[in-house]
Amino acid sequence: MRNKHLILTNGTVVADELIPNGTVVTIGDRIMYVGDEEEGARIKDAAIPGVFEIIDAQGGYIAPGLIDVHMHGSAGFELMDGTEEALRTMARFLAKSGTVAFLPSTVTAAPEKTRSVAQLVADYAGSNDEAEVLGVHLEGPYINEKYKGAQYGPAIRPADLGELEELYSILGDKLRLVTLAPEVPGSLDAIAWLKERGINVSIGHSDATYEEAMEGFEAGITHATHTYNGMRGLHHREPGVLGAVLATPGIWAELIADLVHVHPGAIRVLLRSAGVERVVLISDAVQATGLPDGEYMLGDHQIFVKDGAARLAEGNLAGSTLTMLRAVKNMVQEVGISLQDALRMASLNPAQSLGLADRGWIREGNRADFVILSESFTVQKTIIAGQVAYSDQ
């Protein structure tokens, strides 16, 4: 049976401008029309029954679907479990949470384990009720022990072109993003190799000096992994990784906006420096996301979740239990930015950071990815490529 085209009505459309009582029309997996109530009413009246499905946003928001470029797990599973069940459960949870696409992220692990999860993602075929798996974010193992955070120390190693070639042979263009520390032996060669193949490189878990970070940027680094966290901080006589990120135009700056990892004041500093246009909200979610406080795993580490914050036994933060929608709410309600700007950082910016030119925003011609939100920011529907992937009814 052919899928119906969609008419989304009776909601504030979050696009280049906010459109109260707006209307969005999709044909197949593309957005064909974005407009106001008057034109929307004409389209609705002219719609051929049985061809179009009319979705009523009930006075809420018709927003772009969220994209998470850095998450490890949710709903009791993580990528490093290495099973199709794990990936499918994560993808379904994300669809219910308003996320339409994501990069499952590794943690530092033995080479054979990393190859295994790479093969899992390469072979994975999703279904219509799941967020799309865009590829892999390789977080580690080419990082600095000093800033390992919750990464598994014994598996940290120098950058290895042979290992990268093997992973690339498995994943191809599904190897989307690699986090490394540019001061680690072999990293500059690895950055150049990755750049040649169009693979995004991010600085993270790094003790680089300002000069070493800038050398990494010149070699091809374009992202910063969970800015502020897991990196040498800013000092007025040694600006460090953070100073390099804040001072350099064109770097995509990831941010965990759970208000535990980064203080709202520090978030405002980042926005002043990088601008709304370059900040990418991420969840850095672990398997405890969507579940009660308790004991869970992150790769080879046991983690403990209390009051929603995930930590190792020694107290280090170990990812988050954040959803992308919660991050958007925090940015609006606690940091004080507009809903448009918060959604941009959770949809358009992540898409652009990965080179996805037709994703992440409600514009005619773009892919039809939406989250329909109530006025209180609960998910009513998630629409992926013009199909309803999740509905609360």
- The answer to whether the Cα torsion of 325, 331, 332, 337 is positive or negative is negative
Q: Active site includes 189?
A: no
* DSSP assignment of 66-118: EEEEEE-EETTEEGGG--HHHHHHHHHHHHHTTEEEEEEB--S--HHHHHHHH
Q: Residue 239, CB half-sphere, CA atoms under 13 Å: how many?
A: 12
Residue 204 makes CB contacts below 8 A (sequence gap 6+) with: 139, 143, 179, 180, 181, 224, 225, 226, 230, 231
Cα separation values, 243 from 182, 205, 319, Å: 15, 15, 23
Which is catalytic among the residues 284, 293, 341, 369?
Answer: 284
Sign (positive or negative) of CA dihedral 147, 150, 154, 156: negative
Q: Which two tokens stand for residue 25?
A: 């029309």
Torsion of CA 108, 111, 114, 118, to 10 degrees: 150
The helix (run of H) or strand (run of E) holding residue 120 is helix 111-123
Cα distance between residue 35 and residue 18, in whole Å: 10
User: 147 pairs with which residues across the strands?
Assistant: none
Is-contact 386 5, C-beta < 8 A? Answer: yes
Catalytic positions are 284
